[in-house]
Every structure is written in C-alpha cells, then in structure tokens.
Amino acid sequence: MRNRGLKKNSSKPCQNVVLKTGLLAERAQIVRKKVIPYQWAALNNQIPSAEPSHAINNFRIAAGERDGDFQGMVFQDSDVAKWLEAVAYMLASHPDEEWEAKADEVIDLVARAQQADGYLNTYYTLVEPDMRWTNLRENHELYCAGHFIEAAVAYYEATGKDQLLQVVCKLVDHIGSIFGPEPDKKKGYPGHEEIELALIKLYRVTGDQKHLDLAKYFVEERGRQPHYFAQEAKARGDDVWRHWGKWEYPYSQSHLPIREQTTAEGHSVRAMYLYAALADLVLETNDEELRRVCEILWENTVNQRMYITGGIGSQEYGEGFTVDYDLPNDTVYAETCAAIGLVFWAHRMLQIDPQGRYGDVLERALYNGVLSGMSLSGDKFFYVNPLQVWPEVARKRYDHRHVETTRQEWFGCACCPPNLARLLASIDRYIYTQNEHSLYVHLFADSELTTEIKHVPITIRQETHYPWQGKVRFRVKASSEVKFNLRVRIPAWCKNPQVEVNGQILESMDLSQGYLVMARPWAHGDEIVVTLPMPIERVRANPRVRENIGKVALQRGPIVYCLEEVDHSPNLPAIHLADHAQLAIAVDEELQMPVLIGSALRWDDSGEELYTTSKFALKSVRLKAVPYFAWNNRELGEMLVWINSGGGIPFEGSRRRIRRNYEVVKENNNYGTLERIV
C-alpha cells in the first residue's frame, strides 16, 4: 500500500478473496456466466431484441478499419470500458483464456483508435474532430477517459498486461497538457465526474504524482468563479443556459467549490463519483478540511436524501437529488448506477475510517438498490428502481414515464448494466480491508480470504448463509500464530450479537464504532462464530419523510422486503399491517429464497362510493413479502415497500393464523433450518 501518511485507522481492501456460495457468489457468477457474455453481444449489436449499442463498431470506424458513422450516445465508449473493467475482475478471480483473448482484442482495437497525440474518444474523433474539449459540461470526454483508466488499472492488476495502461497514460498526458492550474492551460473539469477517482487509481499503480495532482486539480477547480462552463459555452458562441433549465450548476455539483459544499445536489451518479474521489483524496492527502466536507456530504446524503433501499435521486428531472426528506416512492429515480456509486463512496469512507455506519449503508445499497437493478436471471435490468409501482399509472402518468414496470433488456443509455457487472464482478474486494494492526470484516459472505498479516500468510474461511441467516463462522488457517485485531462489523440492525471464540461465548464484547474488536494472537484452527440474530423488523421512516408517515417497511438482516401483486390482489396500499401481527420467515419455492409470511388486514375497496363518512371494513388476508431486489421476477404487477400500518387496530396475526394461511414444513435447507412453504 502506498504510504497514506499518518491516518491511523485507514485500511486497504483485501483483493484476494474467493466467494464460495450464497447470494453474492451467485450474483457474481451470474455476472461471469451471463452478464459479461450478454453485454459483449450487446456491445456488438448481436441482441436483436435490444437497442443496438454500436459501441465496438464505433472503435472500428475510429481506428479506420471500417466505414460508417458514429452511433449511440456521446459517452458510448464508456460501455466498452466498463465491460473491460468487469472482465478484468472476472479474470482476476476466474482466469479464462477465451475471455482474456477477447479483452485483449478489444484493448488492441482501443489502442488503434487512439489518436497520435493520445486523444481517445470515438464520438469526437468521428463526429466533431475540431471540437475536442469544447463542451466539458455536456459531452463526457473526461468521463469516458476515466472509465478507460479504471479498466486499464483493473486489467493490469488482473493480468499484468499493460497495453491499456499505456494507452491511458498517454491519454492522461494529453489531458494534462490541456487542463490544469498552470496559466497556459484550460481551467476545465468534467460535467460528469469519473476521471477524478480513476486518476487516483492510476496514481496508486503508477506512483506518478502528476496523476494525483490532476485528480486533485479537477476536484478543486470545480465550481470556482468565473464559472468554466459559462466560459466554454461563451467560447463556443453558445447560450450557457441552453438545454439547461432548472438544472443549473448544482446538476453537475459545480454550484460551489467543493470545500464550500454542504448538501448532496444534482445528478446523483455524478455526485457519488465526485464524493468517492473526494474520499480518495482524503485517503491520499489527509486533508482534514476535505475530510470534514466528505463527512458533511455523507451525512446529508444518507440521513436526509436516501431511500431505505440505498437508492438515491428523488426525481427524474436532472436524475437527482431534490430537498431533504423528499423521498417519493413512485416518481423516484433511484438509478441503479447511483446506488452503485453510493457503494463506491461507502467503500472509500470505510477505508478512511472504518465505522459501522459506512458499512451499514454499503450493505443497504448493495443488497437492495443495487441488486434490484438486475433480474435474477441476469439478462434484464432496471435503470430506475421505484419503491412503489402501480403499472396502470406508470403507463398513463407522464410524471412516471421514467418508471419501467418491468426490467429491460438494454437501454439506449446503457450505463447501468455494465456498472452492475463491474461492481458485482469485484464484490469480493468489498468484504475485507486491512492495515498493519487490524483485519476488518465489513461484509458477510461465504468466502475465503488469503492475505498476509505482519508477514504471516493467513487464510480466513468465512462460512455463512448470510444474508439469509445471521450466523457467521470464521476459521483461521495460518502457518504461525500472529497477533492482530480482528474487527467484525456489527450491523446497526443487529441489537444483540453473540460471539464465540473457540467455543467460548464472549461475555463482554469490545464494540467500537460499530465493530466488534477481538485483539489477540490468532493461530491455526481458531474459530470465531459471530451470530447476528435477524428478527423481522418493522422499519419506520423519520416523519419528516411525509410519504411514509404511518407506514412500515419490513426488513430482516440487510434485506428490505416488498409486497407484489402476484402474491396478493391489486391495490397493495389497501393492505394494513397491524403493529402486533406476527410474521414468519419461510423459503419460497418459486423464488428459491426466504420470504416473509403472515396475516394482514385489507381495507375493503369493493364499495362504489368514492367519498363517504362511513368507515371501510377490514378483512384478514395473507401477506407475503419478498426481498425487494427480487421483485418483478415473476410477473408484471404492483409493488410496494412501505406498507400502511400502525394504529392499535385490534387484530393480531397470530402464529396460528399464519399456519392457517400457509402450510410450512421445518427442514434443513440452504438457509439453515428455515421453514419452507409447501
């Protein structure tokens, strides 16, 4: 690890982790087996039923090897880069000659499309060669460069091959010749952040200070006056407000210099990429002021502007944040990429200072708002992740036009699927971080870590059915005894964790910042069992979230649940979950995962009157809540996360009543000993 100065708690991700079984392993495998091949086909226009990407073709044309016109979005190149990055992560954990050969070919093609001066962007090369670097606000040149840098670093680390690294170093040299603090250079920065965090990754590989400096420059220059986006528009002879409307500068987080920003604003993916870069800068520079800015933005994001799913972005217009506590469930944006960006940021916050609250958000976003973006089968995707869907209204209401009621094969703006692929293909790297004294466990997943602590090679086998069961067993394999702090995140949702070390229950637990600290010499054969009881929880939103007053969301462990029409009848909001109604967990045959079952009440909506002074009747109905991420995998229909609840409506959905509704058997299965619905 490059020296990060004095920051005593900082730690770096452990990269040598093999996922074994369980939800994350399955999702990562789906990415390897289906998503990466599917996206390869998509990039090559080989999916007849999906919108054609043209991305590979654009590079062929730019390399002078094919005739034709550029097609696609101005940032179409980035889909190729994100795919390469995902392939790199796949090759790191699951070497595969065939895919490595394909990636090598693509990298060679990218190299051939690079211009002599280092410039790389097929849109400008093919469409507006004389207009390079004239519209940073809208046209994504630096954004695409950032994705190629990330891909190059990942591919280099995975394969040792540096062709793409050389391409991006040349590209970065070119960029550095155009932009920077020196008087003769343009004072530009990207409209869509991305290159900042990429340059820091590059710096960590190359050790070249100029890469860090350029990242720092882009972050710090943003939002300064006179405003660069106004200047470049004027230079183009363009009206600065054209295509701009209400978005204005907050849309691109350029309304203020970063050190003066206090609220999460604008396009939520852009914001996440900026804030992640900010965290990286803190890691690299120990800048206390930037750390405080990072912390303030974090608090605003997760405590005032985040959905329970870890989704962010409350409106389609500007794809971004609105105001504190404005979290509409149906017109929501919550782009998959934004939840992914939040995971990136949280992961970096954990590296700066491992606090459970960062891990809690990472886990919330990952298991809910991120995983929901991809179908269980891995071939369909959500761009927008609503928390409440009424398909008839989504089709008819213009203010719902961005809400797809079923996952799509591909998108004209295909940012989310490749972003999902690169995150899930590298999710093994999010489980542990370590520093000199400590090994941190941030996520729970059946897996094996291989690392070295104080020069002692050590293997940690983590055995768990998480996130479906809260028992996690760690087995230490080491050639010799080594003293270090094993720090295990205790999620905030867990009220009474239990820990056994080598069969002995730990009577007094040392909990610090959301981590259980076990400081002792660890030796081969040591076994730690952490049990995180996972009762079914009713979660309430702060009443400042006006939409959710009187409602509860169901959560068990890190998984947020939702209701689907297929398990009920239409009109899910008519379901009322009494405060004391018991719920049980059981494995659903069709979804092949644990769901929540119980009895609820339902307002009788069969009456003809639209308004009445009469009270409506309540009747008892079966309730089944499925993991939010797994919704819309059976059939089209309504979906609801926040369930009407509360009050002391005199009803108890007893265990006996659940049994009357659902027949279940107790058995050993993949999830331990959950009941199964038969």
CA distance 378 to 253: 33
493 binds its own copies, rule: CB under 8 A? yes
Please name which of 333, 347, 203 lies closest in space to residue 267, comparing C-alpha atoms.
333
Stretch that binds its own copies, among 308-316, 376-384, 411-419, 440-448 (CB under 8 A): 308-316
Report the C-alpha gap between 29 and 35 in whole angstroms: 9
**Tokens linked to 91:** 């090759």
Is 393 one of the binding residues for its own copies (CB under 8 A)?
yes
Contact between 312 and its own copies by CB under 8 A: the answer reads no
Minimum CB distance to its own copies smaller for 586 or for 601: 601
Q: By CB under 8 A, tell whether 557 contacts its own copies.
A: no
Could you say which of 40, 111, 256, 603 contacts its own copies (CB under 8 A)? 603
The least distance separating its own copies from the CB of residue 562, rounded to whole angstroms, comes to 15
DSSP E strand stretches across 90-175: none
* Count of other CB atoms within 10 angstroms of residue 15: 17
Place of tokens 């400081």: 519
Exactly one of 537, 569, 622, 669 binds its own copies (CB under 8 A); that residue is 537
Q: Which stretch binds its own copies (CB under 8 A): 141-149, 496-504, 507-515, 605-613?
A: 605-613
At 149, list the tokens: 């840098």
239 CB-contact burial (10 Å; exposed 0-12 / middle 13-18 / buried 19+): exposed
- Determine the interface stretch with its own copies among 72-80, 275-283, 334-342, 598-606 (rule: CB under 8 A): 598-606
Using the minimum distance from each CB to its own copies, give the nearer residue, 96 or 316.
Answer: 316
| Smallest separation, CB 528 to its own copies (Å) | 27
- 449 binding its own copies? (CB under 8 A): no
- Phi, then psi, of 567 in degrees rounded to 5: -95, -5
The interface region with its own copies, picked from 120-128, 202-210, 317-325, 444-452 by CB under 8 A, is 317-325
Stretch that binds its own copies, among 6-14, 233-241, 448-456, 537-545 (CB under 8 A): 537-545
Q: Does 252 bind its own copies (CB under 8 A)?
A: no
Site for its own copies contains 326 (CB under 8 A)? yes
> Can you tell me which of 365, 574, 664, 674 binds its own copies, judged by CB under 8 A?
574
| Catalytic residue ranges | 319, 415
CA distance 535 to 192: 41
> Which residue(s) pair with 594 in the sheet?
587
- State the sign of the Cα–Cα–Cα–Cα dihedral 593, 598, 603, 606: positive
Phi, psi torsion values for 644, nearest 5 degrees: -60, 140
Q: Give the residue with the Cβ less far from its own copies, 44 or 315.
A: 315
Task: Please tell me whether residue 95 binds its own copies under the rule CB under 8 A.
Answer: no
CA distance to 404, 472, 518, 587, 673, per residue, from 667 (Å) = 38, 20, 34, 10, 6
CA of residue 357 relative to chain centroid, distance: 16
Query: What would the x/- binding string for its own copies be over residues 36 to 75, using CB under 8 A?
Result: ----------------------------------------
Q: Which stretch binds its own copies (CB under 8 A): 70-78, 99-107, 171-179, 572-580?
A: 572-580
455 is a site residue for its own copies (CB under 8 A): no
State the DSSP code for 478: E
304 vs 419, beta carbon nearer its own copies = 304
Q: Count the residues in the chain.
A: 678
Residue 173 exposed, middle or buried by CB count within 10 Å (0-12, 13-18, 19+): middle
Dump the DSSP string for 630-673. Answer: GTTSS-S--EESSEEE-TT-S----HHHHHHH--EEE--BTTBS
From 28-36, 138-146, 463-471, 640-648, span contacting its own copies (CB under 8 A): 640-648
Cβ-based nearer residue to its own copies, 1 or 616:
616
When asked if residue 405 is in the footprint of its own copies (CB under 8 A), the reply is no
Strands 482-489 and 438-441: parallel
Residue 303 interacting with its own copies (CB under 8 A): yes
CA 564 to chain centroid: 23
CA-to-CA distance for 463 and 445, rounded, in angstroms?
Answer: 7
Residues forming beta bridges with residue 584, ordered by sequence position: 597
Q: Does 255 engage in binding with its own copies (CB under 8 A)?
A: no
| Size of the residue set binding its own copies (CB under 8 A) | 59
For the beta carbon of residue 19, count every other beta carbon within 10 angstroms. Answer: 21
Which is closer to its own copies, CB of 501 or CB of 649?
649
**Among 652, 671, 580, 587, which Cα is nearest to 624's?**
587
Provide, rounded to whole angstroms, the least separation between the CB of residue 591 and its own copies. 25
Out of 550, 619, 667, 678, the residue judged to bind its own copies by CB under 8 A: 550
Does the protein bind its own copies through residue 608 (CB under 8 A)?
A: yes
Contact window for its own copies (CB under 8 A) among 56-64, 301-309, 425-433, 662-670: 301-309
Applying CB under 8 A, among 45, 317, 450, 569 the residue interacting with its own copies is 317
Q: Looking at 25, 230, 506, 649, which residue binds its own copies (CB under 8 A)?
A: 649
Between the two ends of the chain, the Cα-to-Cα distance in Å is: 52
Q: Which residue pairs, CB below 8 angstroms and at least 24 apart, start in 613-622? A: 618/576, 618/649, 618/651, 620/651, 620/653, 620/657, 621/568, 621/569, 621/575, 622/567, 622/568, 622/597, 622/598, 622/661, 622/662
CB of 8 to its own copies, least distance (A): 27
Task: Outline where 383-473 has alpha helix (H).
Answer: 391-396, 416-425
Which residue, 382, 387, 388, 346, is CA-closest to 363? 346
Beta carbon nearer to its own copies, 171 or 302: 302
373: region left, alpha or beta (phi > 0 left; psi from -120 to 50 alpha): alpha
Which one of residues 8, 97, 610, 673 is an interface residue with its own copies (CB under 8 A)?
610
342 binds its own copies (CB under 8 A): no
Q: Which of 390, 440, 466, 662 binds its own copies (CB under 8 A)?
A: 390
Options 8, 650, 668, 673; binder of its own copies; rule CB under 8 A:
650
Residue 236 or 546: the one with the smaller Cβ distance to its own copies is 546
Q: Is 338 in the site for its own copies (CB under 8 A)?
A: no
User: Per CB under 8 A, which region of 46-54, 336-344, 531-539, 624-632 contacts its own copies?
Assistant: 531-539
Closer to its own copies by Cβ: residue 306 or 530: 306
Which structure tokens are listed for 164? 């793409």
Pair 297, 261: CB distance under 8 Å? yes
Smallest distance, its own copies to C-beta of residue 609, A = 6
Smallest distance, its own copies to C-beta of residue 349, A: 17
Token pair, residue 525, equals 């054969």
Q: Can residue 322 be called a binding residue for its own copies (CB under 8 A)? A: yes
Q: How remote is the C-alpha of 456 from its chain's centroid?
A: 33
101 binds its own copies, rule: CB under 8 A: no
By CB under 8 A, is residue 316 in contact with its own copies?
Answer: yes
Binding site for its own copies (CB under 8 A): 246, 302-304, 306, 308, 314-318, 322-323, 326, 331, 390, 392-393, 396-399, 493, 537-546, 549-550, 553, 571, 573-574, 576, 603-605, 607-616, 644, 646-650
